[in-house]
């Protein structure tokens, strides 16, 4: 086996492995019913990245020369990655989220590219072989027109724009697991920006496209692996994984009951839930119980999760303050902040979820 064959084998092995990991993550996300509609947006975004990695695999191993009809077949899906991620962030944690008619604008780039590529899809093998050969050729310096650059980079520009829009949304809205969403957003923005710079550099320096693909496939692989790790490792976003873990848990009925009592005592005696950045690790350290045992007991015995139980106690405190006339001295937002909420929006959302009323409606009810 010569050096070229060895390199092709390594590339095939590495990219193939990442593709398999990505497919596993997609299955995990689909099983997570807690994500409701948002999981489908996340799956579309992941699939768009993974299928493009498969395209890299075809070119870096030169399999595309044997399978020319696969040329560009998944390219339109790249134009769904940014919009799908944006809709994932928008719908995440919103059980009542529904797509609007105006949301069709998000798939227009995908539809337009798909229509433009139909002639290529219907072309002959000879025509596709010409394109593939050109793809491997070294481009002459200065031969890249703006239209060529735009055609090669438009999907990255769209991903960058949607990634930035999603980040702005996360920072404006106090979403549960916002740290995780920020990581997702920063990763995709970094991927789009870096690939845009690298691809532009290679285009204008006259490097062969295959050289570019090797670099870009590495960046794409790192992105998919990081996304997969965060999705699978962060149990707050995918509690579906908790189910399997609990089935083999060593917790006995007596131990579970004891932990439940200690959790209840914590929220009764401690006022730490009024701290806006309270984490399950803080509770774990205070009551000396492992975090995953707390999560299990909350799920199995208390039919809740960490964020829900924290918000329930915060809302109870807010109800006490409203009934005691605190609104005469403090604003609604100030009361929310006193109870541990970082914004008026998050306070209103949690209050309505627990009481089915806004704070003002609740005050009118108890006063009347």
103-139 per-residue burial string, b: 16 or more CB within 10 A, e: under 16: eeebeebbeebeeeeeeeeebeeeebeeebeeeeeeb
d(CA 213, CA 11): 11
Name, in order, each residue with C-beta under 8 angstroms of 224's C-beta and a sequence gap of 6 or more: 18, 21, 22, 25, 46, 49, 50, 53
Q: What is the pLDDT of residue 210?
A: 62
Spatial contact of 158 and 107, defined as CB atoms under 8 Å apart: no
Task: Provide the 3-class DSSP secondary structure of residue 99.
Answer: coil
Give the residue among 78, 80, 85, 96 at the shortest CA–CA distance from 37.
96
Give the residue carrying structure tokens 């399999």: 63
* Angle CA 226–232–234, to nearest 5: 90
Give the residue carrying structure tokens 């570019």: 212
Q: Write out pLDDT tens, residues 241-290.
A: 444 445 545 678 888 889 999 998 888 887 888 888 888 888 888 888 88
Spatial contact of 216 and 199, defined as CB atoms under 8 Å apart: yes
d(CA 249, CA 160): 43
Q: Write out pLDDT tens, residues 282-317.
A: 888 888 888 888 888 888 888 888 888 999 999 999
Q: Which uninterrupted H or E stretch holds 16?
A: helix 3-31
Q: What is the pLDDT of residue 248?
A: 47
Q: Is 288 left (phi over 0), alpha (psi -120 to 50) or beta?
A: left
What distance, in Å, lies between the first and last C-alpha atoms of the chain?
86
Pair of tokens at residue 63? 């399999």
pTM tops 0.85, yes or no? no
Q: Which residues of the chain have pLDDT under 70?
A: 1-9, 11, 33-35, 93, 95, 136-146, 148, 173-178, 203, 206-213, 232-250, 368
């Amino acid at each position: 086996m010569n050096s070229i064959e060895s390199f092709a084998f390594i590339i095939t092995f590495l990219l193939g492995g990442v593709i398999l990991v990505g497919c596993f993550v997609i299955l995990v996300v689909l099983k997570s019913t807690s994500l409701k509609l948002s999981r489908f947006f996340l799956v579309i975004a992941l699939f768009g990245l993974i299928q493009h990695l498969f395209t890299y695999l075809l070119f870096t191993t030169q399999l595309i020369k044997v399978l020319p009809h696969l040329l560009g077949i998944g390219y339109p899906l790249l134009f769904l990655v940014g919009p799908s991620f944006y809709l994932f962030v928008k719908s995440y944690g919103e059980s009542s989220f529904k797509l609007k008619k105006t949301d069709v604008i998000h798939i227009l780039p995908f539809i337009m590219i798909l229509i433009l590529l139909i002639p290529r899809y219907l072309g002959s093998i000879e025509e596709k072989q010409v394109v593939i050969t050109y793809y491997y050729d070294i481009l002459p310096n200065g031969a890249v027109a703006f239209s060529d650059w735009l055609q090669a980079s438009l999907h990255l520009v769209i991903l960058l724009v949607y990634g930035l829009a999603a980040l702005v949304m996360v920072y404006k809205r106090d979403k549960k697991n916002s740290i995780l969403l920020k990581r997702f957003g920063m990763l995709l923005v970094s991927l789009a920006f870096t690939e845009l710079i690298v691809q532009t550099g290679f285009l204008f320096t006259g490097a062969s496209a295959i050289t570019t693909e090797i670099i870009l496939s590495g960046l794409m692989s790192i992105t998919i692996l990081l996304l997969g790790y965060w999705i699978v490792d962060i149990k707050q976003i995918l509690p579906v994984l908790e189910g399997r873990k609990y089935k083999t848990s060593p917790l006995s009925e007596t131990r579970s009951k004891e932990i439940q009592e200690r959790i209840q005592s914590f929220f009764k005696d401690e006022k730490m839930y009024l701290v806006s950045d309270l984490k399950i690790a803080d509770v774990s350290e205070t009551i000396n119980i492992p975090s995953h045992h707390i999560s299990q007991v909350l799920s199995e015995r208390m039919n809740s999760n960490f964020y829900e139980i924290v918000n329930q106690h915060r809302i109870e405190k807010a109800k006490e303050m409203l009934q005691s006339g605190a609104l005469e001295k403090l604003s609604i937002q100030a009361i929310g902040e006193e109870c541990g909420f970082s914004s008026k929006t998050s306070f209103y959302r949690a209050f309505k979820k627990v009481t089915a009323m806004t704070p003002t409606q609740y005050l009118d009810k108890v006063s009347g």
